Amino acid sequence: MREAHPIERTVGMEYYVSDADGVGGHLRASPEDFRVTELEAFETAPVDADTGGYPHVVMRVELRDWDTNDFASALSDRLGISRERVSWAGTKDKRAVTRQLFSVKGIDPDDLPDLDGTDIEVVGRAGRPILFGDLAGNAFEIAVRDTDAPENAAAVVAALRGFAGDAAGADSDLPDEPVTVAVPNYFGQQRFGSRRPVTHEVGLAIAREAWKEAVLAYVGNPHEREPEDTQAARAYVDDTEDWQGALERLPRALGYERSMCHTLVENGAEDPADFREAVETLPSNLQTLFVNAAQSYVFNLICSERLERGLPFDRPVEGDVVCFRDSEAPGDLPLPDTDRTQRVTEKRLRTVERHCERGRAFVTAPLVGTETELADGEPGEIEREVLDEVGIEPGDFDLPGEFDSSGTRRAVQVRTELGVQRDGDALTFEFSLPKGSYATVLLREFRKNDPET
């Protein structure tokens, strides 16, 4: 275990599991170097099904170098409809070639536009929209180029096999066949904003119902990775809270920030309700993302503390809460069923350990919400200490509208079959992950450098 890169530590990923030096290198030299294919889990009716019972057109879309939200906005604009009528199961990386399902309510498939960098295939109709989480997972093929020390990859693979419970010794060569590896199931950097990781700060302010603080965290709060004119505009907001002046300075590309400022100019920005109104001008999925990011940050901190204390991730200790495998998940992609949980007592410890060894159960940590029941023993102690550190408690998520969250639990470890191929100073990784897990969290163990490189 070694300390993580500083930008990763700001979002709660404080350690790498592997002690080996990284390979370095660059991600996304081109979009084709980062390929993501959604493992679909959404049933459709034929495209000629009755539009009354099946009003949602379902499409399989390949995107090249498109942000998911930007594509949804562009598609709705071209169709002349509200963006809220466009739905998808999971947000993908922008600088990538991605393939995933979208649904659009109440349109004629013949009206679908041609958009540069996209390939749209209508696959059917549905009686409801695709909802966030309506997928089994994602398959990845990712190239890391211009590595400094590709020979280090073998030692990282060995360490991650060990974290998965494989006692195989270190090997100086990469395995010829895919092998089982595991990493902490951290939420990746993109959950919080890759260039400017602040969404969790906004979410924590919302949980405290500090609405003005939430606005300032999003509209102000400059980051050194941003262009100088953007940093200057955000600094002006922090220094003056002059919303009209902010509109004159914020770049046009910052449409969400400008929308919030417009609202504050119009409502006078005097009361907490005015700042809440500004936050609520944002798309509903972005409002939810803020709260989710706060929950994700807390989860990451809990995982990091568990690592620091040397507690296992592949098996429980007394006091842990485990969840069982989803019986409807694909056989080669085990998914936790977070609705089926069990507290691990001293009496049940060995039995639950066997379930975990066989892939039937998973150790969890909370995504904190109003219905969260914290663990017992040392795991519970960790959860309570982290919540105290960030200054929130489960009841704080009893919030209005899109901000409310009852919470759930999430497996602390994710496993996969990993194949690695070397071609000179380039490494290609092939693997699949269950929904909600991040490819970059696996790759960070190999690269051990700035995640934006």
d(CA 200, CA 323): 26
Q: Which alpha helices (DSSP H) does 220-360 contain, by range? A: 228-240, 243-249, 255-267, 272-279, 284-308, 349-357
406: which 2 tokens?
Answer: 């009852």
d(CA 379, CA 419): 33
Non-local (6+) Cβ contacts of 249 within 8 A are 229, 232, 233, 236
What pairing do the DSSP bridges indicate for beta strands 321-325 and 336-343? Answer: antiparallel
Q: Which alpha helices (DSSP H) does 50-99 contain, by range? A: 68-79
- The C-alpha angle with vertex 102 and arms to 123 and 260, in degrees rounded to 5, equals 160
d(CA 443, CA 27): 9
Beta-strand ranges (E) seen in 17-172 are 26-27, 34-40, 56-64, 86-88, 97-105, 118-126, 135-145
d(CA 251, CA 231): 10
25: buried, middle or exposed (CB in 10 Å: 19+, 13-18, 0-12)? buried
Q: Is residue 443 within 8 Å of residue 142, measured between CB atoms? A: yes
Place of tokens 């499409």: 59
d(CA 322, CA 409): 9
Q: Can 93 be counted among the known catalytic residues?
A: yes
Distances in Å between the Cα of 299 and the Cα atoms of 45, 196, 293, 306, 388 are 38, 20, 10, 11, 13
Question: Active site residue: 21, 48, 50, 93, which one?
Answer: 93
d(CA 148, CA 57): 47
DSSP sequence for 205-221: HHHTT-HHHHHHHHHS-
Number of Cβ atoms within 10 Å of the Cβ of 167: 6
d(CA 133, CA 136): 8
d(CA 401, CA 120): 33
Residues marked active site are found at 93
